[in-house]
Amino acid sequence: MDWTRFFNVLIDGVQLGSVYALVALGYSMVYGILKLLNFAHGDIYMIGAFIGFGVLTVFGGPLSPNLPLAPLLLLMFLVAMLGSGFLGVAVERFAYRPLRDAPRIAPLISALGVAFFLENSALLLFGSQYRQYNGFELIGTGGFFIGTVKITWINLLVVSSAAGLMVALMLLVSRTKLGKAMRATSFDREAAAMQGIDIDRVIVWTFFIGSALAGAAGVMAGLAYSSIYHYMGFTAGLKGFAAAVVGGIGSIPGAMAGGLLIGLAESFTAGYMNGTWKDAVTFSILVLVMLVRPTGLFGKPEIKKV
């Protein structure tokens, strides 16, 4: 067995999984609190990638940036996260909030409409051509070796910043007052409201944080895979979705584990079989998990009460 190849594929999988996990977190958090599948989430990730690219272009583009690398990357992440966050809040305010007490199917259709609106607006604004982040020009193809396995700086950057964001999220949810309010709201929205928690504020923050994570994931995808285009959000959204469900929708560690699992599965399919069929592999995992354990790996079984 060729172990170098194995580990290369593994590293690719972890990198892809980190991106999916960040996307999945947004789905999962929103679902946990509103019980709403936010189909527009993938497109917020796409917009985040374009915002990051815009910042990069303003500062000279990937080939001749006129800022040192570290502040430039920081600025790209920051602006993309802020922009995506505000976009997510706007989507919630105008598309989902009016439907909070509507039948379950209504916000789903609205979400579908928002996703399509964002995607085509991006097509209108940015055109259909692929934009190149040129991550390897920007950051360099260098890296370090563990044995014969090369880990590039981009690998390291993507995985470590994703891990950092997830740790920050975990701390936020478990340690702060806002996190407590989020957990309470997701446990029982009405009861939380009766305890004096401002539900609207919690929901707005949830959308902001989830969308900001998606925006960061968009920039990471741009750096790691270079090409960004208006349709990228749809597939990434589906994968993030699958990751959230596999891990147990509504559960934060579940979304991380699910993201990693999906990322690894895709990377091994592409590395050892045929890259065309990675969607099929993800789909099979999804269906399998839903048949065997519908609540996902980390989800708690839901008891229906009347």
Partner 1 sequence: MAGKRQNPDEITPRIGADEWVGREQELRLARRGVTGWARSLVERIPAVVWLAVFLGIAALLPLLMNTGDLNRYGLNVAIFALLALGLNVAVGWTGLLDLGYVAFFGFGAYTYALLSSPHCFTDTACGVHWPGWATVPIAVAATALLGLLVGLPSRRLSGDYLAIVTLFFAQLFLTVAANGDRVSALGLTGGVNLTGGPNGVPEVDPIEIFFIRPTTVEAYYFFTLAALVVVAAVLWFLIRSRTGRAWTSLREDELAAELMGMPVNSLKLLAFSIGAGIAGLAGAILAAEQTGVFPGNFDLSILITIYAMVILGGAGSMPGVVLGAIVITVVFEVLSPTTNPDKISLMFYGAILVALLVKVRPLWRLAFVLGGTVLLGYVTHTIAHAISASATQGQVVSGGWLGDAIESIAVVPLDPGDWPKYAYVALIVAVLALTRLDGWRRTLLMPPTLVLTVFVWENLLLLQPTVTRFILFGALLVVMVAVRPQGLLGKPRVEIV
Binding site residues, partner 1, CB under 8 A: 31, 35, 37, 39, 90, 94-95, 98-99, 102-110, 112-121, 123-125, 234-235, 238, 241-242, 245, 276-277, 279-280, 282-283, 286-287, 290-291, 294, 304, 306
Gyration radius of the chain over CA positions: 19
- DSSP-based three-state secondary structure for 152: strand
145 — alpha (psi -120 to 50), left (phi > 0) or beta?
Answer: beta
Smallest distance from partner 1 to CB 283, Å: 5
Select 16 or 114, whichever has its Cβ closest to partner 1.
114
Q: CB atoms < 10 A from the CB of 196, how many?
A: 7
Q: Which residues of 277-292 are buried (b: 16+ CB within 10 A; e: fewer)?
A: ebeebbeebbeebeee
- Give whichever of 10 and 281 is closer to partner 1, judged by the CB atom: 281
Q: Smallest Cα–Cα separation from 198: which of 185, 186, 216? A: 185
Give me 5's structure tokens: 């190849």
Q: Closest Cα partner for 262 from 210, 272, 280?
A: 280
In angstroms, give the least distance from the CB of 147 to partner 1: 31
**Minimum separation from the CB atom of position 41 to partner 1 (A):** 13
Choose between 177 and 304: whose C-beta lies nearer to partner 1. Answer: 304
The distance of closest approach from Cβ of residue 223 to partner 1 in the complex, given in angstroms and rounded to an integer, is 25
Residue 99 or 163: which CB sits closer to partner 1? 99
At CA 226, angle to CA 225 and CA 232, rounded to 5? 70
CB of 276 to partner 1, least distance (A): 5
The single residue listed with the structure tokens 């607006």 is 121
Report the nearest approach of partner 1 to the CB of residue 302 (Å): 9
> Residue 171 CB, nearest distance to partner 1 (Å)?
29
Q: How far is the CB of 68 from partner 1 (least distance, A)?
A: 28
Which of 105, 194 has the CB closer to partner 1?
Answer: 105
Q: Specify the residue, 164 or 275, whose C-beta has the smaller distance to partner 1.
A: 275
Residue with smaller CB distance to partner 1, 104 or 177: 104
Which residue lies nearer to partner 1 by CB, 120 or 141? 120
Residue 193 CB burial class (10 angstroms; 0-12, 13-18, ≥19): middle
Among the listed residues 291, 296, 211, 286, the one whose alpha carbon sits nearest the alpha carbon of residue 254:
296
3-state secondary structure of 302: coil
Q: Which residues contact 304 (CB under 8 A, 6 or more apart)?
A: none
